[in-house]
Amino acid sequence: MRAMPRPFEIHVPEAVLQDLRERLARTRWPDAIPGTGWDYGADLACVQELCEHWRTTYDWRAHEAALNRYPQFMHQVDGVDLHYYHVKGNGPAPFPLLLVHGWPGSVYEFHHLIGPLTDPAAHGGDPADAFDVVIPALPGFGFSGKPRERGWSISRAGAAFDTLMSELGYARYGVQGGDWGAIIASKMGSAHADHVAGIHLNMAIAPPIPGAAEDPEQQRFLEARQAFQAAETGYSNLQGTKPQSLGIAQADSPSGIAAWIVEKFRTWSDCDGDIESVYTKDQLLTNIMFYWAPNSIASAARIYYETQRDPAAFVYPKVEVPTAVADFPKEIYRAPRAWVEPRFNLQRYTSFPRGGHFAAMEQPEALLGDIRAFFRTIR
């Protein structure tokens, strides 16, 4: 018998919040070489300031109430409970749209876009642009269930999301995502093209084409990718090989999770080194709470391990469903149009002057406008 969606609200027990405050108060901080800032990783003073705000000022209950304003559900798919938002659109013909996050993000990345996407008229838009929005937490992430067996790579996650959309009654739908969400959207566009009407990506994974090094524009993309691979991929190598070793430490230390995640938000965002020029402390901490409160930091990291061992993860035919790419200048994996076109049925490629890896939070209006414009051609 098929499992049915169950209404769900986020409610973190008070004992978990009290334990969090006590752990933050007891943090044993390491030393740091004076004047090194972020050179060795997370800046000690910055993380200490954030954690003190977390301990003394941050009001999880206020954010929890805001998160619970939209309808949420749990639905078991392939043996794992998926936590997701499902918000119906207000317009003449709302189009179903699956929004998929990545690491170290969460469903919270999209939370402030739910209103404009589902009820555009109430936010100064055209009611014809309304979407039915489904925002699932990846298996092992946030309040979704933690897989109890091997094999939950992006291929299996994409299949689970296609099943979820089908069981919600959507035979045809669009997908949008960045980070793992973009990779899963691409995989779904290939493997589930009978259901996926189009995909919108703010991170396109595409290899360089022959002769790329001879073209000045493509050479800039090559150099940026090579620099990222050389200096910024230690996290991926660790989580792809020994995630549990790191997870044991992080599950015991909220300050450890904060350091690990906030360093990525600073490095991968278009913030010129000043993270609070883009995000408030409360925004950073609310996202971090999706890893701390349900103790999902280790189970989330395993997506790297599983995907590295999935031979089909990045091997698939050209994605033939209509594809749009929103290109933000500080995205960690950028691909110019010339690289994307051989890999996808590219219908739209838009370059923006500002923005980085977390586009839904960094440049919400730009991303929203591009999503609306692309799916007008798909509806």
Out of 108, 173, 279, 304, pick the active-site residue: 304
List the structure tokens of 335. Answer: 């691909």
User: Cα 341 vs. chain centroid, distance in angstroms?
Assistant: 24
Residue 179 known to be catalytic? yes
Asked if 119 is an active-site residue, the reply is no
- Which residue among the candidates 43, 81, 132, 179 is catalytic per the annotation? 179
What is the distance in angstroms between the CA of the first residue and the CA of the last residue of the chain?
A: 33
Q: What are phi and psi of 212, to 5 degrees?
A: -60, -35
> Could you tell me which residues come within 8 angstroms of residue 116 by beta carbon, excluding any fewer than 6 positions away?
123, 125, 368
139: Cβ contacts below 8 Å, ≥ 6 apart: 80, 82, 145, 146, 147, 152, 156, 157, 160
SS3 9: coil
Q: Is 86 a known active-site residue?
A: no
Structure token pair of residue 98: 């699956």
Bridge partner residues of 177 (DSSP): 100, 201
Token pair belonging to 35: 């004047």
Residue 86, token pair as written in the block: 């499902």
User: Quick one: 61 exposed, middle or buried, by C-beta within 10 A (0-12, 13-18, 19+)?
Assistant: exposed
Catalytic residues: 179, 304, 357
